[in-house]
Structure 1
């Protein structure tokens, strides 16, 4: 058994916290829209690791837990009146805006959690397991595949019907401006770059801050209030 398979970080506590939070969001809350998407992703990932079908269950569980904890830290910061990371601020600031549609909330949350949180979670996991990002590539791809499935479900469940969503609808332009696959590729590159910069803490910190701001800027655009 390899070192990656020996190290296990249970996600039971993360799932319990997320399930408890699910019942606390008020009706119409944009954070709740994303939260339910993320809960479904985490539960799906946990079911797959529990079946033993993954070759590196310890690495998969460690990455899942660290990834989820970054979102929960943002929730805590907002609840306590502190500033969450820049990538999350648009979602928390506009969570009750009547001009933002549920699909926008869900995709903006995915953008923040994928573009920023997952890159940092890969680096966190590499430090914990004393491995390189290349050793976690299968786990990273698994998370990306799960997000792809969830994005399809989000679009199916929250996309307006074809009679309502026409080519001139502003929502059409917003949706076409963001690609999960491109975001996923950028996240993997960011994780590898941060790992390469680990011995240059000042540069790594600057890179992390700029990544956070860039992902937050994209999220702000995705949450542009639209006429109904």
Structure 2
């Protein structure tokens, strides 16, 4: 693995408090939507993640504070851009469309909304955010690997909490429930691994506009198809 180097790119000093500002924007969004709204469900989950990352950045838990902040802000920005697109009557990226289309469906359960949002954000947005961060800080993906892994560790802990809080208690009915098998088939670890591989590939082909655009479009579409599967209605 390439040796981590010190960043010298100019990043505004106020960016250090930007994660907290992102959390404030998420709280404002949550206040606009009813609790049952599928996008609101994901927003609550993501707000918890963002608050935890902000706390750990401020506590000095990340090896490179500036890199962690830049990655988190650019990552969250892609979700907020999808929300803004829908608010403006535009189509969001394909990975986000299922969640916005099914957000009020009575047959979709809360845990499905949460995982569909995480799937879109990790499967598509995270890879692009890594590339965005590399451009902003003039570094290589390998320079961000520690920050990427630490954010991933936080997400893993929160994913476990999501499954515990949003899934019904373990019993024979749950074991027989098709939703249990659907949710169990999706893996955050695999999604993270895929995002890291996609980010490295996109960085390698960044000078080949047609190739990078085609790969990004296919990634967006594929993640969107997974999201539609995760949002399969189970009752009317």
Task: Give the TM-score category using the shorter length.
Answer: over 0.9
| Equivalent residue, structure 1, for 2:188 | 180
Instruction: Say which of 3, 6, 10 aligns to 1:2.
Output: 6
CA contact (8 A) 1:126 1:132 kept: yes
The one-character-per-residue Cα deviations of 1:131-183 (angstroms, maximum 9, x if unpaired) are 00000001110111111011011011101122364333110221122111111
Q: TM-score, normalised by structure 1?
A: 0.95
| Total equivalences in the alignment | 228
1:96 to 80, 104, 122: 104
Moved more, 173-182 or 134-143: 173-182
How is 1:37-56 mapped onto 2 (pairs within 5 angstroms)?
Answer: 37-56=45-64
Shift of 1:6: 7.1
CA distance in 2, matches of 1:174, 1:53: 34
Deviations 1:66-111 (A, max 9, x none): 0000000011111111100000000000000000000000001010
**What CA distance in whole angstroms lies between the structure 2 residues aligned with 1:5 and 1:197?**
22
- Taking the aligned partners of 1:165 and 1:115, their CA distance within structure 2 comes to 31
Give deviations 1:20-46, integer Å, cap 9, x for gaps: 112111231011110000001011001
CA contact (8 A) 2:131 2:202 kept: yes
Question: Where does 1:187-226 land on structure 2 (aligned, <5 Å)?
Answer: 187-226=195-234
In 2, Cα distance between equivalents of 1:85 and 1:95: 16
Q: Deviations over 1:180-201 (max 9, x none)?
A: 1111111100000000010101
| TM-fit CA distance, 1:53 | 2.7
User: SS where residue 3 of structure 1 aligns?
Assistant: coil
CA contact (8 A) 2:67 2:147 kept: yes
TM-score scaled to structure 2, two decimals? Answer: 0.92
Residue 176 of structure 2 aligns to a residue whose secondary structure is coil
- Aligned residue in 2 for 1:21: 29
Q: C-alpha distance in 2, partners of 1:38/1:108?
A: 12
Asked whether the 8 Å contact 1:15–1:42 carries over to 2, the reply is yes
List runs of 5+ in structure 1 lacking aligned partners: none
Distance 1:165 1:159 in 2: 12
C-alpha distance in 2, partners of 1:108/1:80? 22
Q: Residues 122 and 204 from structure 1, CA distance in 2 versus in 1: closer, same or farther, beyond 3 angstroms?
A: same
CA RMSD of aligned residues (A): 1.7
For the 8 Å contact 1:5–1:58, the answer to whether it is kept is no
Question: Equivalents in 2 of 1:4, 1:219: separation in Å?
Answer: 38
Name the structure 2 match of 1:79.
Answer: 87
Q: CA deviation at 1:121?
A: 0.3
